[in-house]
Structure 1
Amino acid sequence: MTTTRDRTDLLKDASTVTTLIDAAVEFVNGRKRSALLLLGAAAASTRVPGLGTAVSVVLRAVRRLR
């Protein structure tokens, strides 16, 4: 049986991994600044859950508004 803490840890890890994947995609597309920002957000999201996801969403919104 899975506890709530296990699920929380799983979601936190998933958020970090998806942020790292977003950073890799940005780097491949030639957006080094965005990649570095996402890498920093992924590192910080180990302490602040959801930060990587928030940074990823903001980057996408800014890109669409340009």
Structure 2
Amino acid sequence: MANLNSRSANKLSIVSTLIDSLLAFRRGRPKSGLLLLGAAALSSRIPGLGTAVSLFLRIARRVR
């Protein structure tokens, strides 16, 4: 059984943010897609940024 350490959790977060970015582009939301893509790129330096941006965008869509 594989252990989940901080490095693999960070990689999983980056991949998840990239998938969210691709889905945003496919749904016709280019601004959200670019924001998520940028967050995924910065997530290697700032862990958790991609997840935070993804959650923020989901909440902002619900509020609107």
Which TM-score applies when normalising by structure 1?
0.91
In structure 2, the partner of 1:56 is 54
Using the aligned pairs only, state the percent identity.
52
In structure 2, the partner of 1:24 is 22
TM-superposition CA deviations, 1:20-60 (whole Å, max 9, x none): 00000000000000000000000000100000000000000
Which TM-score applies when normalising by structure 2?
0.93
For structure 2, the residue ranges without an aligned partner over 5 or more in a row are: none
Give the distance between the partners of 1:55 and 1:7, measured in 2 at CA: 22
1:7 Cα deviation from its structure 2 partner: 0.8
For structure 1, the residue ranges without an aligned partner over 5 or more in a row are: none
1:7 and 2:11 matched: no
1:10 Cα deviation from its structure 2 partner: 0.2
Give the distance between the partners of 2:31 and 2:54, measured in 1 at CA: 13
Aligned residue-pair number = 63
Runs of 4+ in 1 over 6 A off after TM superposition: none
